[in-house]
Amino acid sequence: MDRKITVNVCMGTGGIAAGGEQVMTALKEEFDAAGIKDATFIENCKLHKVGCRGFCARDVLVDVTIDGETSTYQYIEDNMVKRLVSDHVIGGEPVKEWLVGDDYHTFHDKQKKIILQDLGKIDPESIEEYLAVDGYKGARKALSEMSPADVITTIKDSGLRGRGGGGFPAGVKWSFCAGTEADQRYIICNADEGDPGAFMDRSVVEGNPHAVIEGMIVGAYAIGASIGYVYIRAEYPLAVDRLHTALNAARKKGYLGENIFGTDFNFDIKVKLGAGAFVCGEETALIASIEGDRGMPRAKPPFPANKGLWGKPTIINNVETLANIPPIINKGAEWFASIGSETSKGTKVIALTGKIRNTGLIEIPMGMTLKEIIYDIGGGIEDDRLFKAVQTGGPSGGCIPQQFIDLPVDYEGLQSIGSMMGSGGMVVLDETDCMVAIAKFFLAFTQEESCGKCVPCRLGTKRLLEILTRITEGEGKKGDIELLQELAEDVRDSSLCGLGMSAPNPVISTIKYFRHEYEAHINHKRCPSKTCNALLTFFIREHQCVGCGMCVRACGVNAITGEKKQPHVIDQNTCIKCGACFDACKFDAVLKE
DSSP string, 394-408: GGGS-EEEGGGTT-B
Rounded CA separation 192/284 (Å): 13
CATH number of the domain encompassing residue 555: 3.30.70.20
Which pLDDT belongs to residue 39?
Answer: 43
- CATH number of the CATH domain containing 257: 3.40.50.11540
β-bridge pairing 399-401 and 387-392: antiparallel
451 and 422 both lie in a single domain: no
Query: Phi, psi (5° rounding) for residue 21?
Result: -65, -40
Asked if 193 contacts 200 with a C-beta cutoff of 8 angstroms, the reply is: yes
As a whole number of Å, the end-to-end CA separation of the chain is 65
Same-domain check for residues 395 and 278: no
Kindly state whether residues 392 and 467 are assigned to the same domain. Answer: no
* 110 falls within a domain: no
Residue 532 within any structural domain of the chain: no
Is the residue at 113 inside a domain? no
Of 101, 125, 148, at which residue does a domain stop? 101
H/E run at residue 429: strand 425-430
Task: Give the pLDDT score at 70.
Answer: 92
355 and 319 together in one domain: no
Quick one: 279 and 144 in the same domain? yes
What is the DSSP secondary-structure string of 122-136? S-TT-HHHHHHTTTT
Same domain, 320 and 366: no
In a domain, 65, yes or no: yes
- Is 116 a member of any domain? no
Same domain, 453 and 486: yes
Q: Please state the domain count of the chain.
A: 5
pLDDT of amino acid 40: 45
- Parts of the chain with a pLDDT under 70: 1-2, 36-44
122 belongs to a structural domain: no
Strand order in the sheet with 425-430: 360-365, 347-354, 425-430, 387-392, 399-401
- CA 457 – CA 451 distance, rounded (Å): 8
Same domain, 169 and 233: yes
Which structural domain, as residue segments, surrounds residue 324?
134-336
| End-of-domain residue from the set 494, 523, 552 | 523
Q: Answer yes or no: is 13 within a domain.
A: yes
Both 304 and 174 in a single domain? yes
Would you state the pLDDT for residue 67?
Answer: 85
CATH classification at residue 407? 3.10.20.600
SS3 per-residue string spanning 531-590: CCHHHCCEEECCCCCCCCCHHHHHCCCCCEECCCCCCCEECCCCCCCCCHHHHHCCCCCE
Residues in the chain: 593
Q: Is residue 552 packed enough to be buried (19+ CB in 10 Å), middle (13-18) or exposed (0-12)?
A: middle
Same domain, 426 and 439: no
The answer to whether residues 106 and 379 touch, using CB atoms and an 8 Å cutoff, is yes
Per-residue pLDDT tens for 325-380? 999 999 999 999 999 999 999 999 999 999 999 999 999 999 999 999 999 999 99
- The CATH number assigned to the domain holding 485 equals 1.20.1440.230
Domain boundary among 281, 303, 336: 336
Q: Does any domain span residue 207?
A: yes
The radius of gyration computed from the CA coordinates of the chain, to the nearest angstrom, equals: 26
Q: 332 and 251, same structural domain?
A: yes
Task: Please indicate, yes or no, whether residues 399 and 541 belong to a single structural domain of this protein.
Answer: no
